[in-house]
Structure 1
């Protein structure tokens, strides 16, 4: 399936729930469905997730990954199986979680292979690519915005 803002069957930005502040950094998070959180938690943490949805803490310095303001449940970065691309210590920084393509690989494809299309880059690294953003991307959404920003960053690079 081609990467588009509507890939994953229309999984897009959820605006139905007002964001609660993170209990650690107090910044507002991004709503994420329980299904996403459960798929990304370490096995020993799954039961703790319950049936409630969560918020993803978007602060790059905060140690919280997911939190639920109603139950008081929090999961830290160490409780999930993938790094959060926007956290300052993310390693690697994925541009595409479904195909496990890093931002560095996207930049390399743009600069060295002169590929500037998301779908072409994805096929270059993962010919059998399949979109499963709802369960593989920590935000539970398509990665096309992050992927697109990484391509723009690579295009703007000027070697001296």
Structure 2
């Protein structure tokens, strides 16, 4: 839902109403994530706060919120999660494959130095996707294939 308002300079602005599917801090629409993923990735100090089933991950790289619950308002920030989330600002290391701890830099290096062009070639060179447990290790709770492909694309642009 949105409404049109006028800002102090006389321009029309659109005010977006907060909804449960949007991040409570930045209002970016989140992507559904399994409670299992959240339970495995929040730090032990915050594990007892994981309650409810409806979790989302904030996809805004500049926002400090990683996970939020649409039912009870619980949210977990970057520093409350065990791993750096690759698309969040200042993620270090920036993993392409969480299960095998392969970084985006390693994927790009495999492309630039070894000529890898496919996910299969990256897997052979770096060991990515050898120990799959994505639901528990990847912050999105899904296979890292897409993240690896994005890193390959970055590497191909550098050639």
Q: TM-score, with normalisation over the residues of structure 1? A: 0.82
Structure 2 spans left out of the alignment, 5+ residues: 1-18
- Report SS of the residue matched to 2:31: strand
Is the Cα contact below 8 Å between 1:32 and 1:139 reproduced in 2? yes
CA distance in 1, matches of 2:49, 2:67: 12
CA offset at residue 120 of structure 1?
A: 2.8
Q: Greater relative contact order: 1 or 2 (C-alpha under 8 angstroms, separation 6 or more)?
A: 1
Structure exhibiting the larger radius of gyration computed from Cα positions: 2
- Structure 1 partner of 2:78: 77
- Report SS of the residue matched to 2:113: helix
CA offset at residue 19 of structure 1?
A: 6.8
Alpha-carbon RMSD across the aligned residues, in angstroms, is: 1.8
Structure 1 spans left out of the alignment, 5+ residues: 1-17
Give CA-to-partner distance per residue, 1:43-86, whole Å, 9 cap, x none.
11111102423100000100001001210100000001001110
- Structure 1 partner of 2:10: none
CA distance in 1, matches of 2:128, 2:75: 37
Give CA-to-partner distance per residue, 1:119-159, whole Å, 9 cap, x none.
3322322388121111100001111111111111111214x
- Structure 1 partner of 2:111: 110
Structure 1 residues 4-19: aligned runs within 5 Å? none
- Report SS of the residue matched to 1:75: strand
CA distance in 1, matches of 2:34, 2:96: 20
Give the 3 Å change call, closer, same or farther, for CA 127–58 of structure 1 in structure 2: closer
CA distance in 2, matches of 1:151, 1:70: 37
* Structure holding more strand per residue: 2
Q: Which runs of 4+ in 1 moved over 4 A?
A: none
- Structure 2 partner of 1:63: 64
CA distance in 2, matches of 1:102, 1:127: 9
Structure 1 residues 13-92: aligned runs within 5 Å? 20-92=21-93
CA distance in 2, matches of 1:127, 1:60: 24
